[in-house]
Amino acid sequence: MRKNRIAAGALAFMLVFAAGAPVLQETGVISSITAHAVDSNWNIKKYYDIGDFTIQYVSLGYVQIISFNNPDAEEVVIPESFNDGDNDYPVQVLYGESFQGCKMKKVFIPDTVKKIGTYAFCNCDQLEEITGMANVETIGDNAFTSCQALKEIHLPSTLTRIGTEAFAFCNSLTDVTIPGSVTSTGTYVFSTCANLQTLTFEEGVKTIGDKIAYYCGSLKTVNIPSSVETIRDGAFSISGLEEIVIPDTVQKVGVGAFTNCKNLKSVTFPAGATIIQSNTFQDCYALETVIIPESVERIHKGAFTNCISLKQIALPANLTKLQNYAFYGCESLETITIPENIKEIEEYTFAKCQSLNSITLPPALETIGVYAFYDCKALENITFPASMQKVDSYAFYGCENLKSAVFEGSMKKLGIWCFAGCTTLTELKLPQDLENLSNHVLYRCTSLENLEIPPTVTTVDKYALAACDSLTEVNLPESVEFVDEYAIGYGEGVIPETTGTVNIISESPAVQDYCKTNEITLNGEDPNQTPKEDLAVLEQRVKDMSKYLHGQVQFASEEAFQKNDINNDGIVNIYDWILLKKQVMTERETAIIPTEPEQIPTEDTPEETTEPPASEAPAPETDPIETIANS
């Protein structure tokens, strides 16, 4: 009974295997096969083991190898054909994963093979040599990925397609030629081939694929024929290229095509190009020379970001668009002239160009974006044309050597922190019709001594003129309706203290209220300075205090008492009298030196007077205790 169950199970397994073997769809892509039915002794739904190979017959009249069953063999010769007992059928397909992970060192691929499937030889890490394959048309995705010992590959002139990552991580490849017959490539075809030094595209190739040589750090030479029309995104990014001449036939260079080519020094762009795409040369740290043709109309986002060795670049006259981050971090760039057709310099376009000392703005420029020239430490002068409509926030923040900024036209508002940290700015001509001094707009402009504020200004925002240490006098127009906290007269910090060095001149009630509230000098009057009293009044106060100390008079009010408490210790005594006496002497500008020592009043020695002795004085008509009403 047990034997019958085993036999039945075995029979069921064979039936399932025979019935379940798929008719593989990928065989239909072989272009050289004529689609016609061929009678054979083989069942198209079965796999057959012949020698070291498992094969499948395809009704179109050829065989595909499904797997290789001797993975430890060092040398493999793939047969040209297999015989079904009556006829020979050519091997035209090496099916996906058919040799994956095998330990072979050499393999012969017969001329009958038209297609090498996906992952066919993937991870054959000891494979050094491939011969034959003279008529291969298609190499599938990852076909030879991680064949790390493969030293060379001869791609035939019949080849039309190379799949994604077909030769990725083949670290022993040094020189590869792509035939002109290739019309299609996947992405990352030769990516991370660590020792690939030369990549040649033969005449006939029209498109260089996405990231085809991505992360090939040893790649020094790329030969591009005149047939090439397109270089796709990231084609040579993070490679070791040192120089590249792009033929004039190339109409498009993709996004990030040369990103992070740290050794790239020189680039010649094709004469017919109209766009330099985003991040094309980003992080090309050694790039010194770029020749941009006059045909270029647009430079997109981050095209030259962090090209730290780029000292000069001539922008073409036809340029109409300069996008954000285009030259961000080009710290060696010294001068640049913006073409006349540019109307906007977008955010961060020249930020951190720390050697940029000269820039010419075009007469049609309308907008400078956020952080456009942030941290341009060498920039000394900037003149804004009359066409300007907007200078956005932080546009010149941290330009610590900017000495002069002149607006030739009108504008209603400057962005927040626009010139903050411009510590050497001494000349600033604000735009006409300005209505607002925005938040931190001139914060920490420590060298600014004079500032003419347009009569149209109505609001002064927080910290607008704070920490302007050299600005000792500011004339705020009567038009000002609102002054925010810490706007002027304060130092640095989140909650700064008043500097006490600025005099605000203004007839604006809002400004006057601000000065009063913040104890800032207004129209030359220091709010912390006690108003000067007449000398005669001071002398009378000395006499009256003497009488108080002798108990002859009392102060009329608490206010009068506090006024005579000169040292603010809560009592009026001999020390306050001495301080008051010194004020009198200061006012006289010379010390009082009496011929005889002046008797300082005490409780026991009354002050000398010219009045008659008390015994001879007439009787008082009122209460003997006088009041000092005005003391």
Q: What is the pTM of this model?
A: 0.77
Contact assessment for residue 523 and residue 500, using Cβ atoms and an 8 Å cutoff: no
Q: How far apart are CA 93 and CA 70, in angstroms?
A: 19
Given a cut of 50, is residue 598 above it in pLDDT?
no
**595/474 same-domain check:** no
Q: How far apart are CA 625 and CA 552, in angstroms?
A: 6
AA identity, residue 212: I
Contacts 24+ apart (CB under 8 A), 225-228: 225/180, 225/201, 227/180, 227/203, 228/201
pLDDT tens, position by position, 94-141:
999 999 999 999 999 999 999 999 999 999 999 999 999 999 999 999
**Cα 111–39–53 angle (5° rounding)?**
45
**25/169 same-domain check:** yes
Q: Is there a domain that residue 88 lies in? A: yes
**Burial per residue of 475-504, b for 16 or more beta-carbon CB atoms within 10 angstroms, e otherwise:** ebbebbeebeebbbbbbeeeeeebbeebbb
Give residue 579's pLDDT. Answer: 87
Task: State which of 157, 173, 189 marks the end of a domain.
Answer: 173
**40/133 same-domain check:** yes
Question: Is 108 strand, coil or helix?
Answer: strand
Contact assessment for residue 475 and residue 503, using Cβ atoms and an 8 Å cutoff: no
Compute the average pLDDT of residues 45-62.
95
**481/596 same-domain check:** no
Alpha-carbon 2 to chain mean position = 76
**522/575 same-domain check:** no
Q: Per-residue confidence at 528, pLDDT binned at 50, 70, 90?
A: low
Q: Is there a domain that residue 127 lies in? A: yes
**52/167 same-domain check:** yes
- Tally the domains of the chain: 3
**pLDDT, mean over the chain:** 87
**110/46 same-domain check:** yes
Full residue range of the structural domain in which residue 132 is found: 20-173
Q: Per-residue confidence at 23, pLDDT binned at 50, 70, 90?
A: very low
Contacts 24+ apart (CB under 8 A), 120-126: 120/94, 120/95, 120/96, 120/144, 121/147, 122/97, 122/146, 122/147, 123/147, 124/99, 124/100, 125/149, 126/74
Q: Is there a domain that residue 546 lies in? A: yes
Task: State which of 492, 512, 529 marks the end of a domain.
Answer: 529
Q: Is there a domain that residue 303 lies in? A: no
Q: How far apart are CA 37 and CA 60, in angstroms?
A: 6
Q: Is there a domain that residue 248 lies in? A: no
**Burial per residue of 581-619, b for 16 or more beta-carbon CB atoms within 10 angstroms, e otherwise:** bebeeeeeeeeeeeeeeeeebeeeebbeeeeeeeeeeee
Please name the residue ranges forming H helices in 466-551. Answer: 509-518, 535-549
**144/56 same-domain check:** yes
E strand spans, 283-332:
289-291, 298-299, 321-322
Contact assessment for residue 480 and residue 506, using Cβ atoms and an 8 Å cutoff: yes
E strand spans, 396-439:
404-407, 427-429, 436-437
**542/520 same-domain check:** no
Q: Is there a domain that residue 314 lies in? A: no
Q: Is there a domain that residue 366 lies in? A: no
**102/149 same-domain check:** yes
Compute the average pLDDT of residues 505-516.
95
Task: State which of 114, 141, 173 marks the end of a domain.
Answer: 173
- Higher local confidence (pLDDT), 627 or 494: 494
Give residue 530's pLDDT. Answer: 56
DSSP state, 227? T
Q: Is there a domain that residue 162 lies in? A: yes
**165/32 same-domain check:** yes
**620/508 same-domain check:** no
Question: Is 367 strand, coil or helix?
Answer: strand
Q: How far apart are CA 416 and CA 420, in angstroms?
A: 9
Compute the average pLDDT of residues 528-547.
76
